[in-house]
Amino acid sequence: MGTSLQAMRSRLLAFGVLGVLALAAYGGPVRAQPGPAPYLDPHLSVQDRVADLLGRMSLADKLGQMTQPERRYITHDEVTRYRIGSVLSSGGSAPVPNTPENWADMYDGFQRAALAAPLRVPLMYGVDAVHGHNNMVGATIFPHNIGLGATRDPALVRRIGAATAAEMAGTGVDWNFAPCVCVARDDRWGRTYESFGEVPELPTMMTTVIDGLQGSTLSGPTSVLATAKHYVGDGGTVGGDDRGDVRLPEKELRALHLAPFQAAVKRGVGSVMVSYSSWNGLKMHQNKYLITDVLKGELGFGGFVVSDYNGIDEIDGKPGFTRDEVAAAVNAGIDMVMVPAEWRRFLEYLRDEVQKGDVPMARIDDANRRILTKKFEMGLFERPMADRSHLAAVGSAAHRELARQAVAESQVLLKNEDVLPLAGDDKVFVAGRSADDIGMQSGGWTITWQGEPGPITPGTTILDGIRKAADRGATITYSKDGGGIDPSYDAAIAVVGETPYAEYHGDRTDGLRLDEADLRTIDRLRASGVPVIVVLVSGRPLDVAAHLPKWDALVAAWLPGTEGQGVADVLYGDAEPRGKLPVTWMRSGDQEPINRGDGKKPLFPFGYGLTYG
């Protein structure tokens, strides 16, 4: 006891524990130790390090590791005092100004606070980087999953995962609440675009994104922890109701919704997030059979299970959470609980339930063992701070080129009456709300939770891409509402579709009709007598059957992200349309839900897609 800080530094250096030296550089109280603890020795096995650390932890230490507040509702001092194991940024929660450097500063501030606690356990920082590091201005925004499902290209998706991880790494953020491996069975669901497709084979195929995110080893310099979500069946709720009920026999639940999670587990996914939804009336957040028996037991998942945002609040269907809900969730097998604002109350309730014996200490130890194992595997004890050498990857030319390729591969040509591809010297009129709008073409989960129209982050709009793809000197005219067109143009392009939304805000039971303003824009173009190409920017199929005979071409562009030139590459024939529908396209809104093999006659079947050949 009474060992000097300098002596402690020397001992830690002898073990190569460079990350813990952040204590000296960044301040914070340090409890004197007679010598380096075995858990700080990187030469020991992860299993031995976890066992040693677990044996030193108090109940308060263990409960802190299981608690995940939102950054806006906790201070650095509270992270230290309550031994918090993880912090998150919810959609749109970002430092001001929203720059990569400020993200790194924010992360390091929280990490310094975690390292200042007596046991110096680093924290993990989680974000929904669901199509790139999408909360951060300047990041490369890739197509949403529905577009990637149209590519049928697992290798491309793996590269996108690696690029996303590299952009996250420079900011320090080390945990991604992605990928969503749900199977979207009803296009009215507001999260349809987060799904790779309507059949389990597609999300299963695209679990390669986990390999890209986590790398060959979790301790790699640009590796981040991946999360398979939302376990299980969230894409199969009745009526497409987000957070609704999946009413299926177990055999069908397994056949349709479990396979992608099984594939994710085989790829070593580090965490699994539980769905808000229910299965036959029982909330997933309390479903011990599916979480503990099936996921952890039968599938052999060795990582940790995290709740969704305030997910335990909804177990009893009433606002807020009770002691019973806390006990039910943890006993069901949830290891870390996302409690953004009420985390102090959660700690109080969980402590009480443990002390009463309603939550066994063995369950607490199991949760901590799973969480700590990932922290050791990630190398956080050795390298806890942001590695700013990777900041140059954010929005890099190489990543934007990769995104452009992904956009081009995701385009699905649904109709073409000999108007596409366009010639470079064609005189083209461009219209539509989504033609010159980064926010519209990126959709939800972009800078903010719901996304929003406008120049919200750097990128290339679809109109920008058209102007670049056309020959120098070619006439490209733009009018948002289509006003001013005349018969002198060779073609008109209407870029129309959905206004950004995320999860339950995007649930639609109105038949998925195209917006009236968009229809008026298309009608203005048609009235000129010029061939009309409709580019549909949307997170799902829309009800266009009644209008389609009047259009000369239709391209499903999905939600392409920041690199709109990939759309123009296909329109001008610089890239061949290769995309195939990842979902069945309805003939009318009242066909929903419609899926492959259900006997309903679609407008376009699953797997449909034309080429120029």
Positions marked active-site:
308, 503
Residues 312 and 285: their CA atoms lie apart, in Å, by 6
Contact, 150 vs 163, CB < 8 A?
no
Contact, 231 vs 291, CB < 8 A?
yes
345: exposed, middle or buried (C-beta count within 10 Å: 0-12, 13-18, 19+)?
A: middle
Residues 159 and 148: their CA atoms lie apart, in Å, by 12
Residues 547 and 532: their CA atoms lie apart, in Å, by 12
| Alpha-carbon dihedral angle through residues 374, 90, 20, 55, given to the nearest 10 degrees | -50
Residues 370 and 208: their CA atoms lie apart, in Å, by 23
Helix, strand, coil percent values for the chain (each to nearest 5): 40, 10, 45
Residues 23 and 239: their CA atoms lie apart, in Å, by 53
Residues 15 and 329: their CA atoms lie apart, in Å, by 39
How many C-beta atoms lie closer than 10 Å to residue 434's C-beta? 29
Q: Is the Cα dihedral 202, 203, 207, 208 positive or negative?
A: positive
Cα–Cα nearest to 221, from 371, 385, 20, 402: 385
Question: Tokens standing for 535?
Answer: 């580019």
Contact, 453 vs 503, CB < 8 A?
no
CA angle 548, 461, 469 (to 5 degrees): 80
DSSP H helices, 40-144, are 46-56, 59-65, 76-81, 100-115
